[in-house]
């Protein structure tokens, strides 16, 4: 049995053996071990598996008398192999620039350059740009003209293949996915092609977030990209 206990402040609970006594004991819960293990597997919770510590010299009696040396029952190999990806070393935003700073003109490209350290530990799968400031949402893009390449805009390398590229007006978010992901040790630049630059002048701030592969991957914020647009005279 796995026992869980917590305290719920401000809530009086009757204890089973003391029905006439009010006690702020919170909650108590016990669930069968196999149920807990099954739920842990579905939630991708990593549980210790010390079966590899058993050497061929250990007798079967020693193994049976030492539960810590035996595999945890109820967890599939698939669940054991699933790990949450995260960056061990933080990628960083090298630059974010626009080729046009005048409001409501065609032909601009917004470039975002990100460097992934050798020790990142995971490849780069996705970039999201969350607009934090600006009168207009920078959502109107030539999606099919979105580009990506290794290196910087002034020192371009090989072309990088993209997967999903999308803009969400309600969330004021732009998503760019790499397919395949970018390996650690590389610098990558994406170029977004707006139909027009924004109608309204002023400062536009976009928070740059990066994600490794995986459904439950832990993303990181690399800071804020700043574009300043001016009215033509």
Percentage, residues of the chain above pLDDT 90: 50
List domains and CATH numbers for the chain.
Answer: 2-81 (no CATH), 92-229 (2.60.40.1290)
Tell me the two tokens of residue 185: 């040790």
State the pLDDT at residue 36.
Answer: 63
CB atoms < 10 A from the CB of 21, how many?
10
Alpha helical stretches, state H, the chain: 33-42, 60-65, 77-81
Across the range 23-32, mean pLDDT stands at 50
Whether the predicted pLDDT of 11 surpasses 90: no
Q: Give tens-digit pLDDT for 180-224.
A: 999 999 999 999 999 999 999 999 999 999 999 988 888 999 999
Tell me the two tokens of residue 34: 């196999």
Q: Report how far residue 164's alpha carbon sits from residue 156's, in angstroms, rounded to the nearest whole number.
A: 22
Give the HSE-up count for residue 233: Cα atoms under 13 Å, Cβ half-sphere.
Answer: 0
Task: Give strand ranges (E) for the chain.
Answer: 2-6, 13-15, 18-23, 27-31, 92-98, 110-115, 124-133, 147-152, 155-159, 162-168, 173-182, 187-192, 202-211, 220-229
**Range of weakest confidence among 103-107, 131-135, 161-165, 177-181:** 131-135
State the pLDDT at residue 169.
Answer: 82
Q: Report how far residue 164's alpha carbon sits from residue 211's, in angstroms, rounded to the nearest whole number.
A: 14
């Amino acid at each position: 049995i796995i026992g869980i206990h917590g305290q719920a402040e401000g809530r009086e609970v009757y204890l089973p053996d003391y029905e006439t006594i009010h006690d702020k004991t919170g909650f108590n819960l016990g669930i069968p071990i196999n149920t807990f293990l099954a739920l842990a597997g579905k939630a991708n919770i990593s549980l210790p598996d010390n079966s590899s510590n058993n050497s061929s010299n250990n007798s079967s009696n020693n193994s049976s008398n030492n539960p810590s040396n035996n595999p945890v029952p109820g967890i599939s190999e698939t669940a054991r192999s699933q790990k949450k990806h995260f960056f061990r070393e933080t990628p960083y935003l090298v630059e974010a620039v626009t080729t046009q700073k005048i409001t409501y003109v065609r032909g601009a490209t917004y470039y975002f350059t990100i460097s992934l350290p050798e020790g990142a530990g995971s490849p780069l799968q996705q970039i999201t740009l969350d607009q934090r400031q600006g009168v207009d949402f920078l959502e109107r893009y030539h999606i099919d003209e979105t580009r990506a390449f290794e290196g910087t805009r002034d020192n371009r390398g090989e072309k990088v293949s993209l997967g999903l590229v999308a803009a969400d007006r309600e969330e004021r978010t732009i998503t760019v996915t790499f397919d395949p992901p970018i390996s650690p040790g590389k610098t990558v630049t994406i170029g977004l092609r707006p139909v027009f630059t924004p109608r309204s002048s002023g400062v536009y701030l976009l928070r740059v977030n990066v994600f490794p592969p995986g459904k439950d991957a832990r993303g990181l914020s690399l800071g804020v990209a700043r574009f300043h647009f001016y009215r033509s005279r």
